[in-house]
Structures are given as C-alpha cells and as structure tokens.
Structure 1
Amino acid sequence: MKIRVIGASGVGKSTLCKYISEVADIYWIDTDRYLWKDADFTENYPIEERLKMYQNDICSLACHRCLLKEAKCKTLELDANQPVDVLCQLVLKEFH
C-alpha cells in the first residue's frame, strides 16, 4: 500500500499518518523529520544531512521497493475537520 498525504502546514498530516501507520502497521516516512531539528520548526537540517537521512530511510525499505514501484498511488480528498480516527478509517477503507 502506498499513500501520499499532502496539505498545508498545520492541518494534521503528520498526526493522521502516524495514526494510520500505527493502526495499519505500515511504514511511514515523515518528511518533516528531514527538514526540522526541533519540534518548534525553527531550525533546519543542512541539505546534505537531509539527503543522508532520506537515503537511510529509503535503504531500510529496500526489501519493499518492488512492491512500492508496482503499487498505485491513489488520492483521497479528506475533510480535515473530522477526528483523526474517522479519517484513518476512511483512508484504510479506500486503500486496503
């Protein structure tokens, strides 16, 4: 399963993805982790360090690469005003 969640800062993408990852037991790559050194989003990692962190995550998924390449990525429009557990169920119903 490959799910791409996009949206503006602060709308709850990370919260939703973390919840889906835990409920569905799937790997989640949080791109905020590559950008920000702190939880307040005030200090960035240098670009070289970001790339290294990303490559490490991608390498850890090496055994799943074939599956990820073959997986179709769907887009689902979500209402961000719904509770995270409701959003999670909508996503999992659509993508499983």
Structure 2
Amino acid sequence: MGGLISLAFGNAEPVSINDNGDVLFGAGQLDPDPTVFERFGLFLSMADGTVKKIELSKDTMPNGSKAADNSIGLGSLNNKGDVVFSIRLSGKPIS
C-alpha cells in the first residue's frame, strides 16, 4: 500500500465491523513525498492484520473516470468481506 495512514479521532468516520473481525474505516493516506497532498478514502483492516486500500480520492475507476477529491462516502462491510460505498466522480457526466 505504501505511505502512512492518518486518523483524526476527534472527527473520525464511523467504522463497519463484520463477524470475522474485519474493520472498514475511513482515513487519509500520507505519501512519503511531502509535496504530495493527503488523499482520503476507505481501508479494510483484515482479522489477520493486513490492511487493504479500498478506494482513495483521485483513484481511477474501472470505467476510466476518477474519484473526486474527498468524495468517498460511508461504506458498509458484510460477513463475506464485500464492501459497498458511494463516491462522486470528477469531470463531466458521461451521457
């Protein structure tokens, strides 16, 4: 994944926890390069201790569009480990 994850507990987003002990949470990802701005998104901490990035602002979507800055909404996690979330895309709508 690279970089550091930053959490602001004073204004923390809600988390989603499943029966397996996996935790879905929102956080910022800090790049080791100080000239790169922090990007916010969703991460999944697995019961085995691994952390996976689900989505970050400005990531490219499967259709080629990009996630808008700070647009990722709350996510939900089920017992199978599936994650759903809402996101706003940047640019003009495709008609």
- State the TM-score bracket (shorter-chain normalisation): under 0.3
Larger of the two Rg values belongs to structure = 1
Choose between structure 1 and 2 for higher RCO, CA contacts under 8 A separated by at least 6 residues: 1
Calculate the TM-score normalised by the size of structure 1: 0.24
Calculate the TM-score normalised by the size of structure 2: 0.24
Higher helix proportion, which one? 1
